[in-house]
Structure 1
Amino acid sequence: MRKFLSSIPARFALVAFCLFLAFSLLSRFALFLSAWREISFDLSLPEAFAVGMGYDVASAIFAAAPWLLLGILMPGKWLQKRWMKYLLAGLAVIYCGLLIFITTAEWFFWEEFGARFNFIAVDYLIWTQEVWGNISESYPMAAILPGILLLAISVVYGLRKMGLFNFMENAPTSLHHRLSALAILLLIPFLTTRLVSQSAIPTFGNQYHLEIAKNGCWSFFAAFKQMELDYQRWYLELPGNAALSATKRMLVTENEKAYSDLTEDLSRTIHSDKDEKDWNIILVCMESMSGDFMSYTGNKERLTPNLDRLAENSIFFENLYATGTRTVRGMEALTLNLPPTPGQAIIYRPEGTNLKTTFGPFLDRDYDCGFFYGGDGRFDFMNRYFSTAGCRVVDSNAWKKSDTTFKTAWGACDEDLFNKAISEADKDFSKGKPFNFFCMTTSNHRPYDFPAGRIDLTPADRRAGAVKYADWAIGDFIAKASGKPWFGRTLFVIVSDHCASSAGKEDIDVTKYRIPGIIYNPGLIGKKKITKLASQIDVMPTVLGLLNWNYQTLGYGFDYLSPAIESVPERSFVSNYQKIAMITRNSMTILKPNKKHSSYNCLLETGELSFMDHNTEKYHSLLHDTTAYYQSASWLFGSGKLKRNAQ
């Protein structure tokens, strides 16, 4: 073994291994310092660092594998040639540059999301056009990239001065050494992936400890590999058909009856005795518009005067919670009305096509259903999802060049989006055709850039400026629409996709999920504050209730204006990829991988959690209902029952 460790392949791999490990430790320490105010200084903190070291070692072994291969293939005599020394130095600069780039990227990712690389980072790799444009507009890449290169060159120069290159180059290597190295190379994937699994990370009470325990590269590839978490394999289950029968029972109300007596049929028939309305619907899904930005949560900055005014004169969901932390998760909730199944949003998955959505009742009544987006709707497979749901897609690819007056990497500014929607509404009105539009905004997204002269803030004000511009655009949209002949028969539904930030120290920080929900048109509906705890999945069922429509649904949402809602226990659903939860006014029950769960007493206003007594009827009831909801929703999608042609 000692002779092998002195061989060229072993020395190549050892240097690469140590460099990767050093940068991983540096990254973890930097992220720890960044979040030290949220860190719990208890015994779980050293455990998080110890677990993290294990993942660093496993990742470093993989990072060293190409260098081990290089040492196997490299003839020893070549290393004495000048050109090979330069080539080796160049490869070392590239390697160090990648490590520095990853460390830098992790810092910025942590700054925005409070997490190691995850599904979002995978998206960022796949959708390079939008994301690279966003990064280049958000950060001074012209200075960062040359800085990374200069630092990498400095590191390699220092390593050469320390004699590490001589250590790598001056070593005997025999055929036996090369064959031994090859055997190790072939064993690396087999041994490492079986000995170290991300699902084996211990449960930490502090979410930041969990993230510190990860390695960014390892968690990136884990997310890339597993977009969906199989519910049956990873999560707590009720036996037999108990989850389906329990869910069926919880979803039935006085005017929302079960379609059939079959346990596996979760569809309901929604009935109204009133005359149906043929009103138009324009749903505006606002990017990252946290409830915290608005005055109803106590904000005094006056960033959202238009939304505040609309909230006061509308049907307003005062305690509405988003189901997740991504745009596609919000879209899923608003159109499928289902709790968030673990892993990526259904919209993102290959099977997320041709599904029964809230557009169904509108299509049955010959509405023009459209998806409006100022960017490229191929991002996150949005076009695929909406088009197979029966919508026509009006993304930037369908716009005329003159339709866009200002844009960022993510797409046209919000006012351009709204002007496009108004233009298409005019066309439908002229044809006598009712419409249902889903408009997805982008301006309240990094790089937080927007047209000049609209508000008293500038892009230099970052998020505050973007929020105020997004609010201005909503006000401008309503003002322009109010002058249109179709305005008097149109409901405007304004709701956020998710909050501006999801990072928190708890398992799930509920304060990072509260969003506004507005249904507006004073000429059609009165104003009312809905104070009952609600979920994103309840917004469209409430809108359909205002239309007095009879229809069939597989969604789990309720009409919050129906008298029957008083008999429905307060609940909402939140998630962060692996963890899925149900919250009530004073509790949160979380389901986690490896059949684990946590139940807390929860203060929604502060997010403060305390462990719930497991010996109470309340604990067992909440755990049962949470499991039933999520198990049945996962079954519903996996079984194919959500397909439009499914019986």
Structure 2
Amino acid sequence: MFKAKVHPFIQKMGPYGIILQIMLIALPVLTGFRLLFSIWQWDRVQASGVGFELFLQGVRADLIMVSLLMVPLVLLVPLLANRFTWSLWRLIAVFWGVAALTLLVFMEVSTPAFMMQYDVRPNRLFVEYLKYPKEVLSTLWEGFRFWLISGIVLTGLGASYFYRRLKNHLEVKPQLSLLKTLLVWPLVVLLVALSIRSTTGHRPANPSFFAITGDPMVNSLVINSTWSVAFAIYNLKHEAKSSEVYGKMSDEQILQIVRSEPALKDYEFNHPNQPTLHLQKPVMQRERPLNLVIVLEESLGATYVESLGGIKGVTPYLEALKNDGWWFENLYATGTRSVRGIEAVVAGYMPTPARSTVKLSLSQQNFATLADVLGRQGYHTEFMYGGEAHFDNMRSFFTGNGFQQITDQNSITSPEFVGSWGASDGDLFNKAHERFTELHQSNKPFFGLVFSSSNHEPFEFPDGKIELYEEPKATVNNAVKYADYALGQFFKQAKTSDYWQNTLFLVVADHDSRVYGSELVPVKKFHIPGVIVGADIQAKSIETLTSQIDLAPTLLSLMGIESQHPFVGRDLARDTERAGRAMMQFFDNYAWMENGQVTILRPNQDAVQAKYDAIGRQLEALQPADKVMQEKALAHALLAAKMYERQQYQIPK
């Protein structure tokens, strides 16, 4: 039986002995995990050229987290570390030590599965998705069963080991007088404070302080997962000012830069409390404006579209729509999560380092969306989803911002197939077609947002619908092929329906799957497909650089809708000749792409710029950012954060 005695030197240190021992256990454990992860990702680590520095800075980062965990014990020393309450001190110190060490191990063993999905250590997404245990546990069990079971076992073994290492402190007698304990205490407090701050600079160290390479994944290896998540949680309360990590700019300069963009320079802005509110007149003049259907495809990036440089043969139905309408050759997502795609497509909203506005508290009501615009003009507005609409806070955001009806899994009677994420895309599209037919027959103009889910890990879909692209069945390529098949069946129904000639359809991805890479911003993984079809839309290839935020004003213009709104996107029905721009949020980095150049804003660091090689699909030659491009990027990032904070992204009643 393993039995660890307390070293005489540790005993002589009195109450500070167990604090030191906990730290001496924690640091090698965290370094060991970092070594394992580095071996696992050795190609990326070696390419970054920071192997030794990774471990040196890693110990420094670990000291920050471990010292933070020791703060409660250090603060309790003057109160409990005396002969009257020594037994209580020992009990609390041992319990806290085991709990702290177990937490560190739990977060580290949780890291591989998270990295395989998001290409970085656990961050705030790790916490956000704990609100959805059913979906998360289903995904883990189906897609990461080995890591889930291994994590539980290793965490349990770790807790047992740590208890056996520390339990003998329950027998240790006080060997440091109260006077010496109190005299040493200020020095211990100072050392812990210095370890947490980790620098004598103006700002204390934070995760961006340890960004020692251009590869975000390698940078995340430098820190430990507990600190990564803890810092993300801490930052949640600063989300309104999140973009200020890139720099500051006056309101006047921000508005001057944003309003002078080609997409907005011809509009008038006469509402001081809604700085981007303007009147948009449509290019297409219609006696009766069209209905609108947006099909938001889960994780369907250009990676899976052959004509956009992706793999062959998994999206034939989507690519067939290219012959029926406007096909976007250079459309880019604003982020890497579904809610980021929702805010860009449905609300025309620019990204920030904060969470998507779909989840933030100040945007749950009176936040401008297409549903808000169209609902004011007599449209029926409806969100349709095969899963449970509360996921990612979608139900709250949609019902508070213009959507009159929510149709989700509970509204789909007798679905053919139900997986971890709800009814299949086929069931969803059948329900959507049924609803559009009903609305058309009632002579009610409508806007339907249809959000697919079959192309989501663990990639479950009904048998017998497609010829599998590969074996085994549950792979992303097979799921994409099924999602494409379901989309194709929907359009076969829609094209023969009575509502087709009166309806405009947009099919667009929310983001690509597994957006990762060794670049500061993996631009190629933001490239997504998009196509507008229906009514009298003629086939056309849109080659200009386009952002998801450009879709909302373009749709309104094609539908024949005149409206006031705060959308800052570009109306492509009015102009597709001028060069465009795209903006992308990749974790803490913000990219502004224009004329083949990508300017990247980084938290508390200088901006950089690189040429984007569209053929090779990679960034080339990082260099200091051009001042004009940096100011454009900063102005748009700041404006989005400020309008959220001040609740200015609204349409006056």
**Partner residue in 2 for 1:212:** 221
**Partner residue in 1 for 2:418:** 407
Matches within 5 A, 1:345-356: 345-353=356-364, 354-356=366-368
CA gap of 1:103–1:635, structure 2 versus 1, over 3 A, is closer
Report the alpha carbon displacement of residue 155 of structure 1 after superposing the two structures with TM.
4.3
In structure 1, how many angstroms separate the alpha carbons of the residues matched to 2:330 and 2:568? 18
In structure 2, how many angstroms separate the alpha carbons of the residues matched to 1:78 and 1:244? 62
1:235 aligned partner, one-letter code: Y
Contact 1:97–1:149 (Cα < 8 Å) also in 2: yes
> Does 2:590 match 1:552?
no
> Does 2:141 match 1:128?
no
Q: Structure 2, unaligned stretches of length 5 or more?
A: 1-7, 199-204
**Partner residue in 2 for 1:113:** 118
| Range 141-150 or range 577-586, more displaced | 141-150
In structure 1, how many angstroms separate the alpha carbons of the residues matched to 2:61 and 2:542? 47
CA gap of 1:79–1:6, structure 2 versus 1, over 3 A, is same
> Does 2:244 match 1:244?
no
Matches within 5 A, 1:153-302: 155=161, 166=168, 169-170=171-172, 172-173=174-175, 176=178, 194-195=197-198, 196-202=205-211, 204-227=213-236, 228=239, 230-231=241-242, 233-239=244-250, 241-252=252-263, 257-260=267-270, 265-272=275-282, 274-276=284-286, 277-302=288-313
In structure 2, how many angstroms separate the alpha carbons of the residues matched to 1:287 and 1:393? 21
Per-residue displacement from partner, 1:169-225 (whole Å, max 9, x unpaired)? 445455628768987998898666544433433453332332122221111011112
> Does 2:394 match 1:382?
yes
Matches within 5 A, 1:148-547: 148=154, 151-152=157-158, 155=161, 166=168, 169-170=171-172, 172-173=174-175, 176=178, 194-195=197-198, 196-202=205-211, 204-227=213-236, 228=239, 230-231=241-242, 233-239=244-250, 241-252=252-263, 257-260=267-270, 265-272=275-282, 274-276=284-286, 277-353=288-364, 354-396=366-408, 398-399=410-411, 402-457=413-468, 460-521=473-534, 524-547=536-559
Contact 1:322–1:574 (Cα < 8 Å) also in 2: yes
> Identity across aligned pairs (percent)?
25
2:634 aligned partner, one-letter code: T
2:484 aligned partner, one-letter code: D
Match of 2:628 among 591, 596, 621: 621
| Range 314-323 or range 637-646, more displaced | 637-646
In structure 1, how many angstroms separate the alpha carbons of the residues matched to 2:51 and 2:613? 25
**Partner residue in 2 for 1:103:** 108
> Does 2:38 match 1:26?
no
CA gap of 1:425–1:612, structure 2 versus 1, over 3 A, is same
1:270 aligned partner, one-letter code: Q
Contact 2:50–2:212 (Cα < 8 Å) also in 1: no
Q: Tell me, what secondary structure is at the counterpart of 2:550?
A: helix
In structure 2, how many angstroms separate the alpha carbons of the residues matched to 1:419 and 1:182? 69
**Partner residue in 2 for 1:603:** 613
CA gap of 1:97–1:203, structure 2 versus 1, over 3 A, is closer
In structure 1, how many angstroms separate the alpha carbons of the residues matched to 2:96 and 2:196? 27
1:24 aligned partner, one-letter code: L
CA gap of 1:393–1:604, structure 2 versus 1, over 3 A, is farther
Per-residue displacement from partner, 1:418-456 (whole Å, max 9, x unpaired)? 222222223322321111111222111111111122222
In structure 2, how many angstroms separate the alpha carbons of the residues matched to 1:419 and 1:9? 68
CA gap of 1:598–1:5, structure 2 versus 1, over 3 A, is farther
CA gap of 1:35–1:483, structure 2 versus 1, over 3 A, is same
1:365 aligned partner, one-letter code: Q
CA gap of 1:582–1:168, structure 2 versus 1, over 3 A, is same
Report the alpha carbon displacement of residue 397 of structure 1 after superposing the two structures with TM.
6.6
Contact 2:346–2:369 (Cα < 8 Å) also in 1: yes
2:138 aligned partner, one-letter code: G
CA gap of 1:424–1:23, structure 2 versus 1, over 3 A, is farther
CA gap of 1:347–1:180, structure 2 versus 1, over 3 A, is farther
> Does 2:582 match 1:572?
yes
In structure 2, how many angstroms separate the alpha carbons of the residues matched to 1:434 and 1:79? 75
Contact 1:293–1:299 (Cα < 8 Å) also in 2: yes
**Partner residue in 1 for 2:5:** none
Q: Tell me, what secondary structure is at the counterpart of 1:230?
A: helix
In structure 2, how many angstroms separate the alpha carbons of the residues matched to 1:483 and 1:274? 24
TM-score (normalizing by structure 2): 0.86
**Partner residue in 1 for 2:201:** none
Contact 1:329–1:340 (Cα < 8 Å) also in 2: yes
In structure 2, how many angstroms separate the alpha carbons of the residues matched to 1:445 and 1:273? 37
In structure 2, how many angstroms separate the alpha carbons of the residues matched to 1:637 and 1:167? 52
1:643 aligned partner, one-letter code: Q
Number of residue pairs matched by the alignment:
628
| Range 140-149 or range 597-606, more displaced | 140-149
Q: Tell me, what secondary structure is at the counterpart of 1:205?
A: coil
Match of 2:142 among 118, 137, 159: 137
In structure 2, how many angstroms separate the alpha carbons of the residues matched to 1:75 and 1:273? 80
RMSD of aligned C-alpha atoms? 3.6
Report the alpha carbon displacement of residue 417 of structure 1 after superposing the two structures with TM.
1.9
Contact 1:16–1:63 (Cα < 8 Å) also in 2: no
CA gap of 1:470–1:169, structure 2 versus 1, over 3 A, is farther
2:230 aligned partner, one-letter code: F
2:544 aligned partner, one-letter code: K
TM-score (normalizing by structure 1): 0.86
